[in-house]
Amino acid sequence: MHPVDVVVPRGRWPSRALDRVDGSVRLDGLDVPLLRLEDLVLPKVHSGSRQDVDDVPALCDIHRKRRNDIIAHVDAEQIYLIGPARRDWPRIRALILSP
């Protein structure tokens, strides 16, 4: 069994992210689209759960070379986030940039 995060679309960012998938993986007979790293951060920001918010700086630490690309991407896409997610992004961004 494989753990999988399921994105329940709200707002416009999910369809925009799905337009940019990096391919797919076959799980139990289903082709599951793989979001680009930059788009993987969007549902984590959108969810607002403590674990997902903690995951964002962790992902940026693991992928240090792409950190600025991730930040720039979410900065550009934040207009498609809904309410609290849009409000919380500056705080999450500051966590990413803190030493």
Provide CB contacts within 8 A for 40, sequence distance 6+: 59
Tell me which residues of the chain have a pLDDT lower than 70. Answer: 1-10
pTM: 0.79
- What does the H/E/C string look like for 18-50? HCCCCCEEEECCEEEECCCHHHHHHHHHHHCCH
**What is the per-residue pLDDT for 5?**
67
pLDDT value of residue 85: 87
Q: What is the pLDDT of residue 96?
A: 93
Domain assignments of the chain as residue spans, ordered by start: 37-97
Return the pLDDT at 35: 86
The predicted structure's pLDDT at residue 46: 85
Quick one: pLDDT at residue 76? 93
The conformation of residue 98, written as its DSSP 8-state character, comes to -
Predicted local confidence at residue 1, as pLDDT = 61
Task: Give the pLDDT of residue 59.
Answer: 93
